Amino acid sequence: MSRDEVNVVWLGSPTFPKAAHDALQDDQLRRNLKHATTTIRDKRLRAVAELDDWETLRLAGSQIKDRVMRHLDTYLLQLEASVTAAGGVVHWAEDAREAKQIVSDLVRAMGATEVVKIKSMATQEIGLNEELDDDGIEATETDLAELIVQLNHDRPSHILVPAIHRNRSEIRDIFRREMGKHGVPAPDDLTDEPRALAEAARVHLREKFLRAKVAISGANFACADTGTVGVVESEGNGRMCLTLPETLITVMGIEKVLPSFSDLEVFLQLLPRSSTAERMNPYTSLWTGVTPGDGPQEFHLILLDNGRTKTLADTAGRSALHCIRCSACLNVCPVYERTGGRSYGSVYPGPIGAVLTPQLVGIGTSDHADSLPFASTLCGACYDACPVRIDIPEMLVHLRAKVVDAHRGGLPKPEALAMKGARMVFGSPRRLAWAERLGAIGGRVAGIGGGRWLPGPAKKWTGARDVPVPARESFRAWWRKAGRR
């Protein structure tokens, strides 16, 4: 698959176990992650506990999303009509390449060479900033964490807190080193106090807000009945982008559509509590087309597919599209907590990334994507945290089966042979009893003299864990000998 078709995955990403290896060696990263995820986890539990109808809200969210997926075509056409009637322009983009082309053409038609951006997963997914850069357009991320990542030529590692892997002193160094190259420099005596860091970013960005003619955003929701598009954020930078420039371009995944304006009631409660553990996010901006004399006078909405209709076709996998990008699943995931977001090699990390990425890029197309459904212990914490009840563990297992089936045929790998062997043994109680006796003898021989360092694939177990030695007598044998029935 070429880079143009799908950009969800970072080029050349290694498989998850390989990428995790590097992350696990980084003690600073693990400390930063542990601190950040533990804090937000506890806050989320408190925020959720305040509502006595939380489970009902989750159910409502899940059912609305179910309905959206069943009638996606209807709602999208309705959205197009509503947005057009309100003075906006709707564009359809089948893949990343098309979406980027549309944005680039619009910006160039404005004669603009710089744009301000609101934090958006969809534009990251298609690699928009890089494309604009190639076309001589400088895009500035205005979300504080995105700015940190952008200035450091880094990759985001969290959906909501992209710079979660960086601490304050690292951020101060990045600001001092990079800000001057792109605009107002950071003060020479910048400290790592949060207030000082925020102020440096504010001064740096203010100049860009006031100058930019074009803003680019994503969308958290779009209501089919009214054509209203919405963005929720915490810093107010988004509102600057949404109100000051002359032109607003929004790139939105097609799954973000909601049937009606009143559905916002559900999602505006679910999202902030799940993501930032707030009762309500500080800034909720809703706009419907254009309003003469108020805000951007030109509004373009780009509806992005990029693998989504393919995902929709699998009824057991499609609920990955229900995701509202709150990142609660990342914050509770024990695997994410140890390995960080960049190990997932995609703009969508964590549990949701492990089910969404392989579907967007296609199972069986790369070792990287195929390794993601296995990057979980199936502990289930993500399902409990998900505000729209996406059963991530169940979907992981579903996708594992698709990965295994995609690789059936040809020379079987050791794992496939082991699975077939085990299946044969379990095929009859007699074979099992026979294998048990053999295993008891072999296991005890291997266990003699503290021989608990097994060779071959078993080394992956015995590198850090002793193996239990098979019992002299299995339960089955004991039962039979005791003459029980």
What residues line the site for other proteins (CB under 8 A)?
Answer: 16-17, 20-21, 24, 30, 334-335, 338-339, 373-381, 383-384, 397, 400-405, 415-416, 419-420, 422-423, 425-429, 432, 436, 439-440, 452, 457, 460-461, 463-468, 470-471, 473-476, 478-480, 484-485
Return the number of the residue (111 or 449) whose C-beta is nearest other proteins. 449
How large is the greatest C-alpha to C-alpha distance in the chain, in angstroms? 91
Return the number of the residue (65 or 400) whose C-beta is nearest other proteins. 400
Return the number of the residue (282 or 457) whose C-beta is nearest other proteins. 457
Return the number of the residue (282 or 334) whose C-beta is nearest other proteins. 334
What minimum distance in Å lies between the beta carbon of 341 and other proteins? Answer: 14
What minimum distance in Å lies between the beta carbon of 393 and other proteins? Answer: 8
What minimum distance in Å lies between the beta carbon of 15 and other proteins? Answer: 10
Return the number of the residue (287 or 383) whose C-beta is nearest other proteins. 383
Q: Which two tokens stand for residue 125?
A: 């997914």
Q: How many residues does the chain have?
A: 485
What minimum distance in Å lies between the beta carbon of 412 and other proteins? Answer: 11
What minimum distance in Å lies between the beta carbon of 436 and other proteins? Answer: 5
What minimum distance in Å lies between the beta carbon of 308 and other proteins? Answer: 24
Answer for the pair 167, 26: CB distance below 8 angstroms, yes or no.
no
Return the number of the residue (81 or 397) whose C-beta is nearest other proteins. 397
What minimum distance in Å lies between the beta carbon of 266 and other proteins? Answer: 24
What minimum distance in Å lies between the beta carbon of 326 and other proteins? Answer: 19
What minimum distance in Å lies between the beta carbon of 156 and other proteins? Answer: 20
Q: Which two tokens stand for residue 58?
A: 């989750």
What minimum distance in Å lies between the beta carbon of 484 and other proteins? Answer: 7
Return the number of the residue (301 or 332) whose C-beta is nearest other proteins. 332
What minimum distance in Å lies between the beta carbon of 403 and other proteins? Answer: 6
CA 298/CA 240 separation, integer angstroms: 16
CA 399/CA 252 separation, integer angstroms: 25
Return the number of the residue (130 or 415) whose C-beta is nearest other proteins. 415
Answer for the pair 250, 229: CB distance below 8 angstroms, yes or no.
yes
242-275 burial, b for 16+ CB within 10 Å, e for fewer? Answer: bebbebbbbbbbbbbbbbebebbebbbbbbbbbb
Give just the sign of the alpha carbon dihedral 301, 206, 139, 328: negative
Return the number of the residue (127 or 373) whose C-beta is nearest other proteins. 373
CA 312/CA 320 separation, integer angstroms: 9
